[in-house]
Amino acid sequence: KMAEKKQAGYNKKMQRQETRECQECSYHKKCGGCEYSGIPYEEQLQKKEKRVTRLLREFGKVEPIVGMSYPYYYRNKVHAVYAQKKNGQVICGTYEKDSHRVVDIESCLLEDKQSTAIIRDIRGLLRSFKIKPYNEDTGYGLLRHVLVRHAHATGEVMVVLVIASPILPSKNNFVKALRQMHPEITTVVLNINGRNTSMVLGDQEKVLYGKGYIVDELLGMRFRISAKSFYQVNPLQTEKLYSLALEYAGLTGQEVVWDLYCGIGTISLFLAQAAKHVYGVEIVPEAIADARENAKNNQIDHATFYVGKAEEVLPQWVDEHKKDGDEGLHPDVIVVDPPRKGCDEKCLETMVTMAPERIVYVSCDSATLARDLKYLQANGYEVTRVRPVDQFCHSMHVETVCLLSIQNKMI
Ligand code: SAH
């Protein structure tokens, strides 16, 4: 016991030192995944806070960025592309910046280590199973990508093998061999992507082993995550992000809430614990199937989920319910968490007509956030809180949560 404690204390100390000194990734120039590699973490945080301040200062005071205490190996989703070199050697890693050349990556400072190991070991299995990497130029070969997802809280691991044509030879033995090396793998999914596209996943899917999804826990709730569903990549920081969003929503149990771009319903279901009813909208059908299952598994029966584009579902919903005076027409809070391109103007326009007291905007791109805040500000909303959260340590990306409140039009 004493020795264990001593070791844990030592590990913590080493982690603090690593964070202070900052490790530099040997691939970072080629891979381009972490633009801030080699810059001490404290300085990275300052850079991000400065950028957000520069873009959002006109809307209100930017509160200090929420950093991570040990900013390494946090990524719970690891993606690799496979290729064969002229000399026959198989490599796997990521595309070189702005190109389709593959950089062979043996280790990464951001990715969950176990997931990187799985990706490397799959590379080793290819030869004995006579599986060739897919060649984008000739269209020859089979294996395109591998996606590994690791549930931080439960330890469940999903492997998605993306192949170019529907048959993986000796698939059962392949899965067996892989599981022998990595018994932590709880599910293996085959995804068929025969198209000439930069999209990683195709439409067709087949479960080769296990449940076809993994379950993770965030803030005491359990979430099912399927291969095609979005899930935040940094679980420790996600809890901080969601807690802020929840705080900004200011719920007492009586509120009607919309959660647009809801994914598997994580934010929706946290809000539902303190709301009268929550409506979620998300474009990916598999994610909505997860969200509905997640509501059930967390004993939440006052959440309704819709599949479709927020900018289409929301106006249609308002139109259809105008006559019946449904409570969803006049929500207290609307939360949005769009992809980098931000919200479609039609979505913002509809939100404004619904006149919620508060809007919580969770954004992964401060430029489109500034654009959308401008629109909301011009239409009766005031930005009252802004706080960046570092979800993507060592990259230049930054997440921001904003609270907007309706201005009293009577004054
Ligand atoms: N709030 C969720 C998901 C945020 S990511 C979470 O924290 O996990 C953004 C989500 O928006 C993705 O799930 C994506 O599939 C979805 N999406 C993208 N464009 C959309 C649109 N036009 N309408 C609705 N959802 C969209």
Is the predicted pLDDT of residue 410 greater than 70, yes or no? no
Kindly state if the Cβ of 309 falls inside 6 Å of ligand 1.
yes
> Nearest CA to 291 among 310, 312, 307, 274?
307
Q: Residue 141 CB: number of other CB atoms within 10 A?
A: 18
DSSP labels, 240-265:
HHHHHHHHHHT--S--EEEEES-TTT
CA angle 360, 361, 366 (to 5 degrees): 150
Quote the tokens at residue 23: 């490790």
Kindly state if the Cβ of 192 falls inside 6 Å of ligand 1.
no
Report, as an integer, the average pLDDT of 156-167: 96
Is the predicted pLDDT of residue 411 greater than 70, yes or no? no
Q: Which has the minimum average pLDDT: 3-7, 13-17, 181-185?
A: 13-17
Residue with token string 């059930």: 296
pLDDT-above-70 percentage for the chain: 99
Q: Do 153 and 182 meet the contact criterion of CB atoms below 8 Å apart?
A: no
Best of 231, 232, 244, 261 for a ligand 1 pocket test (most atoms within 8 Å of beta carbon): 261
Residue with token string 């500034």: 370
Q: Write out pLDDT tens, residues 18-31.
A: 777 677 788 877 88
Q: Which residue has the higher pLDDT, 374 or 37?
A: 374
Q: Write out pLDDT tens, residues 314-358.
A: 999 999 999 999 999 999 999 999 999 999 999 999 999 999 999
Kindly state if the Cβ of 328 falls inside 6 Å of ligand 1.
no
Atom of ligand 1 nearest to the CA of 232: 8
pTM of structure: 0.94
Output the average pLDDT for the chain: 94
Catalytic positions, written as ranges: 364
Report, as an integer, the average pLDDT of 137-141: 92
Quote the tokens at residue 20: 């202070």
Atom of ligand 1 nearest to the CA of 284: 15
Sign of the torsion formed by the C-alpha atoms of 43, 46, 51 and 52: positive
Cβ neighbourhood burial of 47 (10 Å; 0-12, 13-18, 19+): middle
